[in-house]
Amino acid sequence: MSELSFKAAELDAGDQLAEVRSRFVLDTVSDHAADAAGVYLDGNSLGALPAAVPGRVEDVVRRQWGELRIRSWDESGWWTAPERIGDRIAPLVGAAAGQIVVGDSTSVNVFKALVGAVRLVEERGGDGRDEILVDATTFPTDGYIAESAARLTGHTLRAVTPGEVPAALSDRTAAVLLNHVDYRTGRLHDLPGLTSAVHAAGAVAVWDLCHSAGALPVGLDEHGVDLAVGCTYKYLNGGPGSPAYLYVRGDLQDRFDSPLPGWNSHAEPFGMRPAYTPAEGVRRGRVGTPDILSMLALEAALDVWDGVSVAAVRAKSLALTDFFLECVEAYVPEGRVESLTPVRHEERGSQIALRCSDAGDVMRLLIERGVVGDFRRPDVLRFGFTPLYVGFADVERAARVLGDVLASR
């Protein structure tokens, strides 16, 4: 056993979150070659299946839908699920109850939040604020939505990197859309500082939390974030295509004017009135009929967080990524990869991105040997570290197999 293998065993022995791993459905040694026993490092794209979900979904399908049918809207709590599940997510992103509603996709919620941000500025008399700033390094859909929102609201869109935002802000700025963690590199951006700068300029801050919620502290309330969105199928393990969420700060809710006013966000949804009157509170962030099957699967998935603190998750995340970089340095031939992820903890999310000239082929070979990460064109290997189910032996094994694959090429 190598020195790093011994170190991994010691770190696993002291892991306070080790027992949480049993709450997930994961590969066993027999599923893959013993040397790479099912190391799953792609939770930043799709989280692993929580063990409680299949049984809960079966109950939803067979009993709630199959037997109770329409009665489940009331008797099984279907109607209140978007807010109830939002309150389950709230402590994971540092928000008080009553400020998060679950439903729709991240893209739809980005549209609601960004247009809603512009309307908040207009409502308070923001004449002359005709520009939207968007993160130039953003996940593509945020850029597409921002461009459409700018056209629809008659605003100019300007793409800048997060580091350029403070200098780019002006009395023309209405809203700023930023990613908390860069999806390619894993860089963690300064949410408190950038939110403060946006507010000082008189603009509204909208944050995309897809790559941070469930991996590190966010502090939405603490830092005065106006609006935020996020997906639930990455570090929250809600399942493929599980519904996203929208955060509207409590003191802004009575002024939040959604560009998608659906019957579910009406003050009297069953009144079937021709004129729209928005519901009170965060409910006005709803649109149409909730996607109950995937929403209740998400609710079951969130049970894995019982008794788990985000602070403990963050501490383990940093320890895992530190150890992975140490193992990569030891096992990977010199000069074969370059880390794109910042070394400083305050600038690092919960993934490591390595630049590698033949990254696509390398990732294919890693997956064949049971180490699952992902590849981003043209030359990036991404490894996501979900502290709820990734251990230090997994990390050592993944880096060792990566070294073997690169040495053989």
Does some domain include residue 67?
Answer: no
Alpha helices in 124-185 (DSSP H): 140-153, 165-168
Rounded to 5 degrees, φ, ψ at 189 are -90, 160
Q: Same domain, yes or no, for 170 and 297?
A: yes
> Do 262 and 284 share a structural domain?
yes
Asked if residue 21 and residue 110 are part of one domain, the reply reads: no
Q: Which of 305, 330, 363 is the last residue of a domain?
A: 305
Same domain, yes or no, for 300 and 312?
no
Q: Read off the CATH number of the domain in which 342 is found.
A: 3.90.1150.10
Could you tell me if 278 and 366 lie in one domain?
no
For residue 167, the domain's CATH number is: 3.40.640.10
Same domain, residue pair 282 and 324: no
Whether residue 398 contacts residue 324, with contact meaning beta carbons closer than 8 Å, is answered with yes
d(CA 122, CA 135): 22
Segments of 7-98 assigned E as strands:
24-25, 39-40, 49-50
pLDDT above 80 for 31: no
Q: Which of 269, 287, 305 is the last residue of a domain?
A: 305
* CA-closest candidate to residue 193, choices 238, 233, 223: 223
Same domain, 89 and 225: yes
Phi, psi torsion values for 168, nearest 5 degrees: -85, -20
Average pLDDT (78-92) is 98
Alpha helices in 21-105 (DSSP H): 53-59, 72-75, 81-89
pTM flag (> 0.95): yes
What confidence category does residue 32 fall into, taking pLDDT thresholds of 50, 70 and 90?
A: very low
Q: How far apart are CA 332 and CA 355, in angstroms?
A: 13
Please count the structural domains in the chain.
Answer: 2
| pLDDT exceeds cutoff 80 at 37 | no
Residue 64 placed within a domain: no
Alpha helix stretches (DSSP H) within 245-390: 292-301, 310-331, 359-368
Same domain, 297 and 394: no
Domain boundary among 267, 288, 305: 305
Catalytic residue IDs: 139, 208, 233-234, 382
Mean pLDDT of 247-264: 98
Provide the token pair at 278: 């928005």
Q: State whether 337 and 200 are in the same domain.
A: no
* pLDDT per residue as tens digits for the range 367-389: 999 999 999 999 999 999 999 99
User: Would you say residue 294 lies in a domain?
Assistant: yes
Same domain, 215 and 334: no
393 in a structural domain: yes
Structural domain including 243 reads 79-305
Inter-residue contact 175 to 130 (CB < 8 Å): no
Question: How distant, in Å, are the alpha carbons of 21, 22, 23, 230 from that of 28?
Answer: 12, 12, 14, 31
